[in-house]
Structure 1
Amino acid sequence: MGQAREVMDRFTESMDTQDRDALARAYADEAVLITPDEGQITGRDKITNYLYHFWEAFPDIRYEYTAKYDAGDVAVDEGYVVATNTGPIRLPSGETLPPTGKKVRVRSCDIAQVEAGQIKSHHFYFDQLDYMAQLGLLPESLTRQLSSH
């Protein structure tokens, strides 16, 4: 197991245990996070603040791996984010949605580039429509179409 894999595993463990200090240590000062919902986020503090909001909205959040890969300075995780929405969901606009009480299991993929024992670049991929449908935030007709595929 290489350094990239070790750092990615520490990151995931810090998310699962909601360890703010370990989460912050996983990222370099000027790290870049690319997300499907907020685009590019630059800097350790902004990245960790983005991730903290998931803990507030989904206090029981955890990651179920389907595969782990690493090569050189890159680690890749495939799996599912599993959680129950019991806290407010912060939207990119700054508005919040009240808790839905619904459970989600959303397929995701993370790709992290590691340098000097910290994440320098991190890309999150997840299906926003599936996420919103599972939360009950889409019109029922669209949710039916999504679930039929």
Structure 2
Amino acid sequence: MSRTEFITDFFGHVDATDFDWCQDYLAPDCRIEAPGFSQQGGEVVILWMAGFFAAFPDLKHRPYQVASEGDSSAFLVEVTGTHTEDLALPDGGVVPPTGRQLRMILGEFWTFDAEKVTEYRVIYDQAEFMTQLGLM
């Protein structure tokens, strides 16, 4: 399976909230870097994802423009969903549901060791995220 096919398949499992399958492809010491969040552990990546699904139950991901070389892949992901539940923040705070639609483009950069993701880096515009939720 090519990296592009794997990434597409991975997000199919993410959207189905098949997090056990996803965690099987994350190294136990996988590093996640996202705006306002930096941790280590495959299970932490899954908890981070699950937190967004808790707040946006209809969340969908569409990866595209995948570029891979050696042990790295870079790609864009269109993310859509509706904010219908509380969104937990890394500092322990909560954003109550706004009912607003979200459509964001994320940049993702993954590093692999064989079939496992060892680094999961996500970049997105936090101001755009807050604006779309009506918080800015």
| Same fold? TM cut 0.5 | yes
> Which position in structure 2 is the counterpart of 1:21?
20
In terms of fraction of residues, the more helix-rich structure is 1
Q: Partners of 1:84 and 1:11 in 2: how far apart?
A: 21
Unaligned runs of 5+ in 1: 139-149
Structure 1 position 5, deviation (Å): 3.4
**Aligned positions of 1:75-90 closer than 5 A:** 75-90=73-88
Structure 2 distance, partners of 1:66, 1:22, is 21
Please list every run of 5 or more consecutive structure 2 residues that lacks an aligned counterpart in the other structure: none
- The structure that has the greater radius of gyration is 1
Shift of 1:65: 3.6
Shift of 1:79: 3.2
| Post-superposition offset of 1:8 | 2.4
The whole-number CA distance in structure 1 between the counterparts of 2:104 and 2:22 is: 21
Distance in 2 separating the partners of 1:89 and 1:59: 11
Kindly indicate whether the alpha-carbon contact (under 8 Å) linking 1:7 and 1:119 is maintained by their aligned counterparts in 2: no
- The TM-score with structure 2 as length reference comes to 0.91
* Distance verdict in 2 for CA 1:10–1:118, change over 3 Å: farther
Shift of residue 102 of structure 1?
A: 0.4
Q: Which residue of 1 aligns with 2:107?
A: 109
Please report how far the alpha carbon of residue 101 of structure 1 lies from its aligned counterpart in structure 2 after TM superposition: 0.6
Q: How many residues align?
A: 136
Q: Deviations over 1:85-125 (max 9, x none)?
A: 11110111112121111001112111111112110011101
Identity within the alignment, %: 26
Counterpart of 2:49, as a letter, is L
| Contact 1:58/1:86 (8 A) holds in 2 | yes
Which residue identity lines up with residue 55 of structure 1 in the other structure? F
Contact 1:8/1:112, CA 8 A, preserved across alignment: no
Q: TM-score, normalised by structure 1?
A: 0.84
Aligned to 1:135: 133
CA distance in 2, matches of 1:114, 1:7: 12
